[in-house]
Amino acid sequence: MSKKYTEPTRELPVSYSADVIIVGGGTAGAVAAIAAAGEGASVVIIEQFGSLGGSSTNGLVCPNMGLHIKNNPSCSYVAKQIFDRLISYGASKPNGTSMPGAFDPVVMSIVLEEMCEEAGVKIVYHTYFCDVIKNGGKIEGVIIENKAGRSVVEGKVFIDCSGDADLSVRAGAGYTKGNPETGKNQPISLRYTVGGVNLADLSSYLQEQIDKSGISYGASPSECYAAVTGLMKYTLTPVFEEAIAAGDLVEDDKLYWQMFTLPGRRDALAFNNPEFFDFVDATNPDHLSHTQVKGKKAIHRQLTFYKKYMRGFENAYIAEIASLVGIRESRNVECEYTLTAKDCVTKKKFDDKIAQTNYPIDIHGRKLDFKADGVTADDGRPYYEISFRSLVVKGFDNLLVAGRCIGAEFVAQASLRIMPTCRATGEAAGVAAAWAALNGKAARDIDGAKVRERMISLGADYVD
């Protein structure tokens, strides 16, 4: 048995106090904070890094996935306001739907701070959530640690937006983790951006490769978009294979690779790789460290490859490497309702819906097998919905969860995890938390349908 120490007990000061406390200032957390403050609640948001946005900023995940519903409705009014501002700053482009695609992650972090400040949200950066103080099913405070030491943040209602369900798990909530068949989490990635690219030269290079290979799949010269995966032959697959044979790339480099342009940056590209298929446990610090170290090596190798094999990269350089490892899935909290794979496939509807989506089930690194749930039972409305109850943590009076770690099965999470849906869950949790705190109610007693009506009254779009 390994050696153990006992931590001495100590009295902790209260550093902050508010109606609504949010752990994790990421994709869902920032929206939750703005929405809760908009309802008149005082809000504190605790974030380990020095900017808001989480995966969408520190993780450099910068294209919004579409919902695969006609007109791509934004179930979050705050998201629409965020993108109106990004567009006005030249950091995103309208696409004719209520949710644009790509955005600049640095400007996103500026916009989220602006909006939180304007809403009166107290942002506490460089602070790690550590533990919970609770009395039965009621959370009284969260313990944080930062340069000022260890302290308690008191609140009336708490929202877990940590992505990994840190708050809920520390509070003792039930949870699931990973693919039930393998026990492993989804593959993880370390994203990066490259600057100094001559996009016109790259575009003509991609066209040449299409002409040469006869494969147009996975390359769009006009957008400087390209992708390569292990599943099939893409335009650039022969180039990757040549580099692997020459020892300039390794086999893993071609299993998942994707590049995009970034709105507002005329010489930059964003990359959704390298991807890691082992050491993928987001709650294991050795795995996260492994990804940062091996990821940086892979990024350097990939830049060298672009310079040697592709046109347009002669003066290119690595501009940013994500400080937040790209975690697709880790833990999911046991909530009043668990969204199932079957709900997604059969397009289940809920009276207390707070999001609608039809984004495909996107499990990296393995093939999907739907033996159990087989047939898509579509009722003519080709989307499924997320119940407000999937945000209400089971066994607690004043704990909600939002983002990728809400109450959902592994397969369902692989669809709902995209950013537009995470923002909608954050917004619903924010509105509900404010109502619960200001009216002395338990989170489970908030009417999800009324929350949605409020979101719609403020500008959220729902089909029907």
Ligand X SMILES: Cc1cc2nc3c(=O)[nH]c(=O)nc-3n(C[C@H](O)[C@H](O)[C@H](O)COP(=O)(O)OP(=O)(O)OC[C@H]3O[C@@H](n4cnc5c(N)ncnc54)[C@H](O)[C@@H]3O)c2cc1C
Residues 114-133, one symbol each (x = binds ligand X by CB under 6 A, - = not), give --------------xx----
Residue 112 touching ligand X (CB under 6 A) = no
DSSP result, 338-370: -B-HHHHHTT---TTEEEEE------TTS----
- Residue number, 156 or 417, with CB nearest to ligand X: 417
- How would you classify the pairing of strands 219-220 and 225-229? antiparallel
Choices 21-29, 34-42, 78-86, 344-352 (CB under 6 A): range interacting with ligand X:
21-29
Cα gap 410→420, rounded to integer Å: 19
Question: What are φ and ψ of residue 44, in 5° steps?
Answer: -115, 135
- Residue number, 25 or 407, with CB nearest to ligand X: 25
- Residue number, 54 or 178, with CB nearest to ligand X: 54
Cα gap 321→59, rounded to integer Å: 8
Residue 29 touching ligand X (CB under 6 A) = yes
Instruction: With beta carbons less than 8 A apart as the criterion, state whether 46 and 430 touch.
Output: no
- Residue number, 191 or 454, with CB nearest to ligand X: 191
Binding ligand X by CB under 6 A: which of 44, 65, 344, 434?
65
Cα within 13 Å of Cα(10), Cβ side: 11
Report the 10 Å Cβ neighbour count for 64.
23
Site for ligand X in 223-252 (CB under 6 A): none
Question: What are φ and ψ of residue 333, in 5° steps?
Answer: -85, 145
* Shortest reach from residue 311's CB to ligand X, in Å: 26
- Residue number, 205 or 339, with CB nearest to ligand X: 339
Instruction: With beta carbons less than 8 A apart as the criterion, state whether 337 and 448 touch.
Output: no
* Shortest reach from residue 260's CB to ligand X, in Å: 9
Residue 185 touching ligand X (CB under 6 A) = no
* Shortest reach from residue 128's CB to ligand X, in Å: 5
Binding ligand X by CB under 6 A: which of 43, 45, 46, 401?
46
Instruction: With beta carbons less than 8 A apart as the criterion, state whether 69 and 463 touch.
Output: yes
Residue 55 touching ligand X (CB under 6 A) = yes
Residues pairing with 138 in the sheet: 135
* Shortest reach from residue 430's CB to ligand X, in Å: 12
Report the interface residues with ligand X, using CB under 6 A. 23-29, 46-49, 54-56, 59, 61, 63-65, 128-129, 161-164, 166, 189, 191, 272, 324, 326-328, 403-404, 417-419, 422
